[in-house]
Structure 1
Amino acid sequence: MIFSRSAMEFQDFILIVPCCLGFISLCKTFIRFLKWVWVSFFRPAKNLNEYGSWALVTGSTDGIGKALAFELASKGINLVLVGRNPSKLEATSNEIRERFARKVDVKDIVIDLAKFSGEEISNMVEEGIKGLDVGILINNAGMGPPYPMFIHEIESEVLESFMRVNMDAATWVTRAVLPGMLQKKKGAIVNIGSGSSMAVPAFPLCTLYASTKAYLAMFSRCIGLEYEEHGIDVQCQVPLFVATKMIRGFNDSASVFTPSAEMYSKASIRCIGYEHICTPYWMHSVQWFLIQRLPDALLNWYLFELFLKSRKRRMEKF
């Protein structure tokens, strides 16, 4: 009788344990979902003016960089715009001044990040921001592949430009801005990465682009830890497709899945100062979640076939 009762209690225990574990797992999933909703839609943005009165934005005359410059200006933050084309920089600066009724100051620094050495870039930035309270740095400048191609097909000059713009420039510009942030013990550095380097297991035929963007993610993680105690927030933002010229030929029309640069910039600004690695636009985070549930082999096969077809169409045109 005693044995029978013990057996029944053991059977009840065996049944209860999976239920309890399942309930705990469900609760954790629900909590993660609530956190995602809070972060994506309700979490208030930080007061960016507390970092400093000026923001420096590289690659600021097109796409995400230009949209971010306008969004920062709408917050009353003065701008240092870095670009390679003097006329486009001037046009962007004038447009910002006109839209915001000259309530913000705008300064231009003309640098071709693909042609100058790292030390030259650093010196030019240091000279350009001398005397300015630069509290925010956005390393947005980047080169995308002209079309999907094998790495041996990339001309040596283009390959060198990729390395300089996508990795060297962000490193040296950050080095130039950091001393001022360290002196006042506050600042925010945002590096614009790419889902090609993190959301998928591989990004074939766009190898150099994805690899250089992966550098930005690790660079951000490391200096984020190094300078956190000095009041400097470092973040790598990892967007998926955004409707800019860089993705022309893939999916360049704005939609809820592929936001415009303006849509993305609003989400981007709301995330500054929070997570070290983040995906600001809510639908991108949904896509990322779904992508990570697929087998790596399937994703690799699909992307390789997709980019092979895109490469073939490109070559047929020329």
Structure 2
Amino acid sequence: MGENCQRLLALLGLLLCLYYLVRCLGFLKYLFPRLGGAPPRAFFRSMGEWAVVTGAGDGIGKAYSFELARRGLNVVMISRTLTKLQVAAAEIEESTGREVKIVEADFTRADIYEDIQNSLQGLEIGILVNNVGMLPNTEPCRFLDGNKNDTGLVNCNVLSVVKMTRMILGQMEKRRRGLILNISSGVASYPCPLYSAYCASKHFVAVFSKALQAEYRSKGIIIQVIMPYGVSTPMTRNQKPNIITKTPDAFVRESLAYVTFGDQIFGSVAHEILGRIMKLIPLWILHSDRVQNKFVDAIGQRAKLRQKAPQQGPL
């Protein structure tokens, strides 16, 4: 009896070691993307003539617009701020020589999609980047203390992904090729207190993307959800870049190397590591009142320091 128990434990230990070995080997592809099957630059142009990027006025959306144009695609940039779109479009056309169309649309509204569809008529769209999104509050807080514009949040973070995908997926299916990148968030990997509504909306994006990939993989279409942690954008108050917080350009270039690496990625090596670490933290720790209160207090102190900081006048 004791000998059989030892054999069983040894077998379980061996299986556990093999499991983690496979996980480690799987992670190596992020360190060496070319060996892991990263697509060549020509791959993106082979999807179609045009890329469509939502939330393209700045941040990650603007970076995707630039990088896809550099890789040979014409770009449709959609955002609510026309002046930002015009400036970015001029920069892209001048630096890459590609054609850029701009579409002004406020994704917090539900009545914009007919106009968008009319603007896309006749375009061979090979890549769709569903990037537009919003944080309901500038600082993390409990649900009842935050912004009450629930409809705007759902329209922007959830409805936009469904509507834009439905608008463009059909022509990809007919051509049997296409790439859809849906930008979620690292906080959607687990139920994240103090970001409850935002976390839930971005979790929808993740689940929707994975289900769609299962439906359309055999049609030659790649649908991938990207779940970044820190990226320095206006939505994150342009945090100073570091080993975790990436610039939009650096994040986008790295994430595009991983588009064939599965239905979900975190978008960079640093975020892949952080994502794996976060999965090891028990939820009861993250959900405890003590941790939440400490976090809220720390954010409050940081906000006070920003208010006290001297403001530099114009030079």
Asked whether the two chains share a fold, i.e. TM above 0.5, the reply is yes
Contact 1:196 1:203 in 2 (8 A): yes
CA 224–121 in structure 1, closer or farther in 2 if over 3 Å, else same: farther
1:147 equivalent in alignment to 2:143: no
| Structure 2 match to 1:30 | 21
Helix, strand or coil: the match of 1:271?
coil
Tell me the amino acid that sits aligned with residue 284 of structure 1: H
Contact 1:205 1:304 in 2 (8 A): no
TM-score by length of 2: 0.86
Tell me the amino acid that sits aligned with residue 106 of structure 2: D
Task: Give CA deviations for 1:275-314 in whole Å, capped at 9, x if unaligned.
Answer: 1122121111111212222221222233553135425764
Q: CA deviation at 1:179?
A: 2.0
Q: CA deviation at 1:74?
A: 1.6
Q: Quick one: which of 267, 270, 288 aligns to 2:254? A: 267
1:245 equivalent in alignment to 2:234: yes
Unaligned runs of 5+ in 2: 309-315
| Structure 1 match to 2:91 | 95
1:255 equivalent in alignment to 2:249: no
CA 273–136 in structure 1, closer or farther in 2 if over 3 Å, else same: farther
Tell me the amino acid that sits aligned with residue 151 of structure 1: F
Distance in 2 (CA, whole Å) between partners of 1:247 and 1:112 is: 20
Distance in 2 (CA, whole Å) between partners of 1:217 and 1:178 is: 17
Kindly report which structure 2 residues correspond to 1:73-152, keeping only aligned pairs within 5 A, or say none.
73-100=69-96, 102=97, 104-115=98-109, 117=110, 120-144=111-135, 145-152=137-144
| Structure 1 match to 2:180 | 189
Identity of aligned residues (%): 26
Q: CA deviation at 1:315?
A: 8.1
Aligned residues: 299
Helix, strand or coil: the match of 2:106?
coil
| Structure 1 match to 2:219 | 230
CA 27–134 in structure 1, closer or farther in 2 if over 3 Å, else same: same
Contact 1:80 1:106 in 2 (8 A): yes
| Structure 2 match to 1:286 | 273
Considering only aligned residues, what root-mean-square deviation do their CA atoms show, in Å?
2.4
Task: Give CA deviations for 1:163-185 in whole Å, capped at 9, x if unaligned.
Answer: 11111111111111122212212
Distance in 1 (CA, whole Å) between partners of 2:58 and 2:249 is: 11
| Structure 2 match to 1:206 | 195
CA 126–141 in structure 1, closer or farther in 2 if over 3 Å, else same: same
CA 303–99 in structure 1, closer or farther in 2 if over 3 Å, else same: farther
CA 13–167 in structure 1, closer or farther in 2 if over 3 Å, else same: closer
| Structure 1 match to 2:151 | 160
